[in-house]
Chains A and B, each alone.
Chain A
Amino acid sequence: MHADATAASRLDPSRIKVIVATDCGSTTTKAIMIEEVDGVHRQTHRGEAPTTVEEPFADVTVGVVNAITELQELSGRRLIADDGTIIRRDSIDDPEGCDIYISTSSAGGGLQMMVAGVVREMTAASAKRAALGAGAIVMDVIASNDKRKPYEQIQRIRELRPDMVLLSGGTDGGNTTQVVQLAELVAPAKPRPRFGSAYQLPIIFAGNKDARPEIERVFAEQPDTTGGFDLSLVENLRPTLEQENLGPARDRIHDVFLEHVMAHAPGYDRLIDWTDAPIMPTPGAVGDILQTIARTQGINAVGVDIGGATTDVFSVFDGVFNRTVSANLGMSYSISNVCAEAGMDRVLRWVHLDMDERELRNRVKNKMIRPTTIPQSAEALVFEQAVAREALRLAYQQHKEFATTLKGVQQQRTVGDVFSQEVGGASIVDGMKLDLLVASGGVLSHAPRMHQTAMMLIDAFEPEGFTTLAKDSIFMMPHLGVLGSVHEKAAMEVFERDCLVVLGTCVAAKGEGRTGKPCFSYRISGGAIAGGEASGQMNWGDVALLELGVGETAEVEVNPVRGVDFGNGPGKSVKRTVKGGTVGIILDARGRPLVLPEDPTERRAAVRRTIDAIRLYPDKEAAPAGA
C-alpha cells in the first residue's frame, strides 16, 4: 500500500503530518514517531530493537522493522505492510502508514576515513574538519610535515582499512608538486578497504584545482588488481589560506557514504530504497541539528554525546561548526583508557568516599570486558560519574585544541595589538560565550538524578558566566538532524518541545580567589523563587542550588568582586534572564579554571560540600549496600 505520490511531492512540508524516523546504532535501532498535533509537530511514540547488521540476520532492515513494529503497537497505527515494508499513505486522512520515513546510521563501525593534506596545521587540518563534520571517524591524518618518514607514512596507509580517503593540499593556483607527491604515497600503498578486495576505494580530491590532471594520472596508473580507486574531484576545501570551503567535500563524503559504504553494508540497499531522504551518518545528523538551533536562535552551543567507546563533541561558536570524536574516551569499551589517559588520581579527585585503588582498577577492567553492566551500589555510581567527568573533560580539551581559527593566515596588526599575543590557531571555543550546553549518552541521560547530569557537565566543561544546561531526552537529535534536511520547522518544533530537557542554568564566576573569601553577591527575582526574591553572598569555593522549575524564568543579577568576570568584564555586574529546569539555578563560586584543593583531606571536604549543596546523592547513606 505504498503511496503513488512521487518522492518530490512526498517531501512537500505542508503534507508531512506523520513521520517515522530511525537511527541504526551499533547495538540498538531506535525508532520515533512524530505527528502533527494541533498544528505543531510532536514526538509521540518511540520503539527500539537490537540492530541486525551482524550475523545471524546480517540485514539492517530486520532491526528497523522490529523497532517500527514496536511503534506500531504503541501508537495503534499500522506502519508495516504484509510484505514487511513501511507503509506510506496516499492522503492525510488515511489512518494507516506515515508520510515520510527517514534514517541515520552508525552501525557497522560508522564511516571510517583517512585524510591527507600537505601541511598538518593547514590543509590537513581543514580536511580533518571536513571529514569529522560529515560524521566520519578519522583513522589517521597524513601530512607532508607530520614528522613521519615517507616509507613510514606508506606503511601506515597500508595498515589502515578506510572506507574512503579525503586528499587535500595546496591553495588554488599555488604549487602542485607537494599534493601530487602526497597522492603518489597514497596510490602505491593501496589501502585495503574494509569491504573486501573487489571494492573500489573512493578517493575524494579536494585540493589545488590545478593539480587535478596529475592526480587523475596518479590514481589511474595503478593496476586494477586490488579493485582500484574511484576518484572524485570536488572544489578545493582551502582555496586560499584565509578561506575554508568545507561544504563541497562534506557533501561528496555523504554521497560516497551512501553510494559505496552503505551499499556494502548488509541490508542497506533495501534501507536506502525505503527512505525518503538520504541516510546520514548519525554524528553528521547531530551536527546538523545543532547548527540549525544555533542559527535559528542566534546562540553559541556545545553538544556532547558520550558513548561506550567514543565521545563526540559538537560546537557552534559565532556560526562556525566543529566536531571532534575522541575515539577511545567512553564509558564501557574505553573506560579503561579514560583512567589510563587521565590517571587514576584525577578520576579519584571527584570522589568523596574511601575507595581502594587496586580494587577500582580491577572494577574498571571488569566493566571494559563486560560493557553492558550497570552500577548497582551508590559507590559504583559515584565512581562511574567520576570517570565520566574525566572522559568529558579530556574530550572537551581535545575539541578546544581542534576548533581553532585558521592557521597560516597572515594577521594584520595595529598599534593597539602590540600587547596582544593572539595568533592564528587560537581556540574559538569560549566558555564565557557559551549559551547552551546539551548532553546525551547513557551516563548523562540515565543518571538517576538530573542534578548529577548537571554537575558532570559543569565539572567537565567548566562553563563561565551564564549557561543553559540541557539533555537530549531520548537521544532524538540524530533523527531531528535528518528531519531538518526535509522539514526544518518540524525538526525545530520537536527539538524545543520534546527533545530537550532543560536542566537549568549555571552561573559561574571566572577568576581565582582564596577559599572562604567573598566572590560575588547575587539577587534573583521572578519565577517561583520563594518569596519572589532571593539574594545572598557567595564565597570562593561555594556552590549553591536555587530551585526554579521547568518552563520558568527569573532575573539574576550578580555583582562580582574585583577581578571576577561574568561576561561584562572583570568586576562588572551582570543582569540576565535565566531558564529554570528540572534542576534549577546552580551558582558556582569555585572559580575558573576549576581547581580542587591539592591536600586530599581539604579536597574531599570541598567535593563533599558541593555534593551536599547540590544534593547529588541524597539517598546514599540510606541505601543498602547491595540493592
Chain B
Amino acid sequence: MAKAYTPGLKVSARTTHRVRRLLPIPGDVRVSTGDVVSANDVVAETFMEGDVHPMNIANRLGCSPAEVPTLMLKPEGSAIEAGEPIARSKGIFGMFKTEIAAEATGTLEQVSATTGQVMIRGAAIPVQVKAYLAGRVVEVLPNEGCIIENDVLMVQGIFGVGGETEGDIRVACADHEQVLTPDLVTPEMAGAVILGGARMTVAAIRRAIEVGAAAVVSGGIDDQDLKDLLGRDLGVAITGNETIGITVIVTEGFGDIAMAARTWKLLASKAGRRASVNGATQIRAGVMRPEILVPLEAGENEGEVDPTIAHEAGALEIGTTVRVIRDPYFGLLGQVSALPAEPAVLGSGSKARVLEVRFPDGGTAVVPRANVELIEG
C-alpha cells in the first residue's frame, strides 16, 4: 500500500457538510445556534469604515500647512456634504477670500498642520454575510459569524470562475459525454444551475448568461474559450471575484473531456432541486476548489456507497480507481493494476515512482504516481 500524491476531489452522494460564514471584521451575528436558515438569509452583518478622501488644503489655498487648522470652517469630527465649503483663506484685507468645497461627503477626520492635508471619511460601508447553504446553525462565533451544517450531495470541481450563487439544477445534456452547446440552453433555465456534460463552449456559456442562469457546470472547457469569456488570459488560479454574470464550474479540466459518469449521474438525479454553488478556486496555500452542494432530505441517498470508496481514503492499492491527470493519458479513468516499488525511467528521461493502470478497454499504461488522482467518495 502506498500513499497517493494527489488527493482526488470529493464527489459524494451524501455527506455532512459544514460551512463557516465569517465577517471580514467584527460585527453582529443575526442567528442563534439551532436556527434553520435558507441560503439567502443574512446571518451576520457589520459596517466597514468608509473610504478616505484626502484633500490638500494648503496647496489649494496657497498658504502654509500650519495655517490650515485656523482656516477650516468646521472642526474635526464634523459631518460634511460634498460641495460644502470646508476652508476659507483670509484674503487680502478681508477681501478676495477663496473657499474650498469638500470633494466628498462624510466626516472631517483629520486636519494636519504639518502637511496641510485633511481627510474626509466617507459613510460606513455595510457588509452582509448570507447563509449560502440552507441548513441548521450549529455554532455561533460571537462577533464573527456562524457555522452552518447540513447533509448534502457534494461535488467538488477542479476549477471555476464567479462566486457564490444558488439555483435549481436543470439538465441540459443527454449524458456526461455530450458537449454543451448554445442550442441546449433554453430560456426556462433562467436562475438555474445548468448541468452540461463534456466540454462547454463559450457560446453556450454566453447563452446561459443571456437567459439569466445562475451557474453552469460541465466536464471541461477550452482555455481559448475561457480567455474569450473573461476577456483576458487567466494567469494564476485565484478566482471567485469575476463579474461575468454567471458562475462557471469545470469538474475535470481543460480541453475535450467528459464529466466523470458518476458525478454526472449524481447531479442529474437531483434535477429540479436547489443547489448552492461557488466557483471560487485557489490553488496555492490553503487549496480551495469550486463546489456544488445539494441539501438532502432525511434518509435521501443514504446507503448509496460508490464501489470506488471501498478503499481507505488516501491510499493506493491494486484495484483502486484513479484518473490520470496529465498527458498523454489525460482524463482517462482506470484501475490500478500494478504498484512497482522501484522508480522507473519515464519517456521524459526522469526517474519517478510509477504505477500501472488498466483502462476499461483492457489496455494498460505505466504512469507516474504523481500524475494520478484518487476518485474519492
Q: Enumerate chain A interface residues (CB-CB to B < 8 A).
A: 26, 54, 108-109, 150-151, 154-155, 158, 176-178, 180-181, 184-185, 188-190, 192, 197, 214, 221, 226, 309, 328, 333-334, 336-337, 339-341, 358-359, 361-378, 380-381, 446, 448-449, 617, 619, 623-627
> Chain A residues near B299 (CB, 8 Å)?
none
B114, B236, B328, B348: which contacts A336 (Cβ < 8 A)? B236
B157-172, CB under 8 A of A: which get 1 and which 0? 0110000000000000
8 Å CB interface, B269-311 against A? 281, 283-286
> Is B100 part of the contact surface with A, judged by Cβ < 8 Å?
no
Shortest Cβ-Cβ A-B pairs, 8 listed: A337-B235, A448-B349, A381-B348, A340-B233, A362-B255, A623-B347, A362-B254, A361-B223
What separation, in Å, do the CA atoms of A184 and B237 have in the docked complex? Answer: 35
> Chain B residues near A371 (CB, 8 Å)?
283
Asked whether, in the complex, the Cβ of A370 is within 8 Å of the Cβ of B348, the reply is no
> Chain A residues near B224 (CB, 8 Å)?
358, 361
A54, A363, A448: which contacts B348 (Cβ < 8 A)? A448
What separation, in Å, do the CA atoms of A627 and B367 have in the docked complex? Answer: 7
What separation, in Å, do the CA atoms of A370 and B9 have in the docked complex? Answer: 11
What separation, in Å, do the CA atoms of A626 and B356 have in the docked complex? Answer: 11
User: Contacts A177-B115, A626-B329: A184 and B350 contacting too (C-beta < 8 A)?
Assistant: no
Asked whether, in the complex, the Cβ of B223 is within 8 Å of the Cβ of A362, the reply is yes
Asked whether, in the complex, the Cβ of A619 is within 8 Å of the Cβ of B365, the reply is no
With both beta carbons as reference points, the residue of chain A lying nearest to B119 in the complex is identified as A188
With both beta carbons as reference points, the residue of chain A lying nearest to B330 in the complex is identified as A366
Q: Please choose the segment from B36-44, B49-57, B186-194 that sits at the chain A interface, where 4 or more of its residues have CB less than 8 A away.
A: B49-57
Q: Enumerate chain B interface residues (CB-CB to A < 8 A).
A: 5-6, 24-26, 49, 51-54, 56, 65, 109-110, 112, 114-115, 117, 119, 121, 158-159, 222-224, 226, 233-237, 253-255, 281, 283-286, 325-330, 344, 346-352, 365-368, 370-371, 373
Asked whether, in the complex, the Cβ of A197 is within 8 Å of the Cβ of B233, the reply is no
A310 nearest CB across to chain B (Å)? 10
What separation, in Å, do the CA atoms of A181 and B370 have in the docked complex? Answer: 53
> Chain A residues near B346 (CB, 8 Å)?
374-377, 627
> Chain A residues near B352 (CB, 8 Å)?
374
A159 nearest CB across to chain B (Å)? 11
A181 nearest CB across to chain B (Å)? 4
A249 nearest CB across to chain B (Å)? 23
Asked whether, in the complex, the Cβ of B119 is within 8 Å of the Cβ of A184, the reply is yes
Q: Which of A158, A365, A623 has the most CB of B within 10 A?
A: A365
B215 nearest CB across to chain A (Å)? 18
Asked whether, in the complex, the Cβ of B368 is within 8 Å of the Cβ of A333, the reply is no
Q: With A181-B115, A376-B348 given, can you name 17 additional A-B contacts, CB distance below 8 Å? A: A188-B109, A192-B24, A309-B284, A333-B284, A334-B235, A337-B236, A358-B224, A362-B255, A366-B325, A369-B158, A369-B253, A374-B326, A374-B350, A377-B348, A378-B349, A448-B348, A619-B349
User: Contacts A151-B53, A336-B233, A359-B255: A376 and B371 contacting too (C-beta < 8 A)?
Assistant: yes
User: Contacts A151-B51, A328-B236, A369-B283: A184 and B325 contacting too (C-beta < 8 A)?
Assistant: no
What separation, in Å, do the CA atoms of A197 and B26 have in the docked complex? Answer: 8
What separation, in Å, do the CA atoms of A145 and B158 have in the docked complex? Answer: 42
B5, B110, B373: which contacts A221 (Cβ < 8 A)? B110
Q: Which of A358, A364, A374, A619 has the most CB of B within 10 A?
A: A374
A160 nearest CB across to chain B (Å)? 14
B228 nearest CB across to chain A (Å)? 12
What separation, in Å, do the CA atoms of A339 and B234 have in the docked complex? Answer: 10
B114, B226, B236, B371: which contacts A180 (Cβ < 8 A)? B114
What separation, in Å, do the CA atoms of A185 and B253 have in the docked complex? Answer: 44
B357 nearest CB across to chain A (Å)? 10
Asked whether, in the complex, the Cβ of B222 is within 8 Å of the Cβ of A177, the reply is no
> Chain A residues near B255 (CB, 8 Å)?
359, 362-363, 366
What separation, in Å, do the CA atoms of A358 and B235 have in the docked complex? Answer: 16
User: Contacts A197-B26, A341-B235, A376-B371: A363 and B54 contacting too (C-beta < 8 A)?
Assistant: no
A370, A446, A619, A626: which contacts B373 (Cβ < 8 A)? A370
Asked whether, in the complex, the Cβ of B283 is within 8 Å of the Cβ of A624, the reply is no
Listed by A's residue number, 12 A-B pairs whose Cβ atoms lie within 8 Å are A151-B51, A188-B110, A362-B255, A365-B226, A369-B253, A369-B281, A373-B6, A373-B325, A374-B350, A375-B326, A380-B326, A623-B348
> Chain B residues near A155 (CB, 8 Å)?
51
B372 nearest CB across to chain A (Å)? 9
| Majority DSSP secondary structure for residues of B touching A | loop
Asked whether, in the complex, the Cβ of A365 is within 8 Å of the Cβ of B328, the reply is no
A616 nearest CB across to chain B (Å)? 10
Q: Which of A221, A368, A625 has the most CB of B within 10 A?
A: A368
> Chain B residues near A359 (CB, 8 Å)?
255
B52, B234, B326, B351: which contacts A189 (Cβ < 8 A)? B52
User: Contacts A26-B285, A369-B159, A369-B253: A214 and B236 contacting too (C-beta < 8 A)?
Assistant: no
A109, A369, A377: which contacts B347 (Cβ < 8 A)? A377
User: Contacts A177-B114, A333-B284: A381 and B350 contacting too (C-beta < 8 A)?
Assistant: yes
A208 nearest CB across to chain B (Å)? 12
Asked whether, in the complex, the Cβ of B6 is within 8 Å of the Cβ of A375, the reply is no
> Chain A residues near B234 (CB, 8 Å)?
336, 340, 365
What separation, in Å, do the CA atoms of A341 and B236 have in the docked complex? Answer: 12
> Chain B residues near A446 (CB, 8 Å)?
350
What separation, in Å, do the CA atoms of A511 and B339 have in the docked complex? Answer: 54
User: Contacts A336-B235, A373-B370: A181 and B326 contacting too (C-beta < 8 A)?
Assistant: no
B114, B283, B285: which contacts A54 (Cβ < 8 A)? B285
What separation, in Å, do the CA atoms of A153 and B112 have in the docked complex? Answer: 18
B87 nearest CB across to chain A (Å)? 17
> Chain B residues near A108 (CB, 8 Å)?
285
Asked whether, in the complex, the Cβ of A374 is within 8 Å of the Cβ of B371, the reply is yes
User: Contacts A376-B326, A448-B349: A366 and B283 contacting too (C-beta < 8 A)?
Assistant: no
> Chain B residues near A339 (CB, 8 Å)?
233
> Chain A residues near B330 (CB, 8 Å)?
363, 366
Q: Which of B237, B330, B348 has the most CB of A within 10 A?
A: B348
What separation, in Å, do the CA atoms of A361 and B347 have in the docked complex? Answer: 21
B6, B121, B286, B328: which contacts A626 (Cβ < 8 A)? B328
B54 nearest CB across to chain A (Å)? 4
Q: Which of B253, B327, B330 has the most CB of A within 10 A?
A: B327
What separation, in Å, do the CA atoms of A337 and B366 have in the docked complex? Answer: 31
> Chain A residues near B110 (CB, 8 Å)?
184, 188, 221
A333 nearest CB across to chain B (Å)? 6
Asked whether, in the complex, the Cβ of A192 is within 8 Å of the Cβ of B25, the reply is yes
What separation, in Å, do the CA atoms of A492 and B138 have in the docked complex? Answer: 57
A221, A340, A370, A377: which contacts B158 (Cβ < 8 A)? A370
Asked whether, in the complex, the Cβ of A333 is within 8 Å of the Cβ of B119, the reply is no
B315 nearest CB across to chain A (Å)? 16
With both beta carbons as reference points, the residue of chain B lying nearest to A187 in the complex is identified as B110
> Chain B residues near A361 (CB, 8 Å)?
222-224, 254
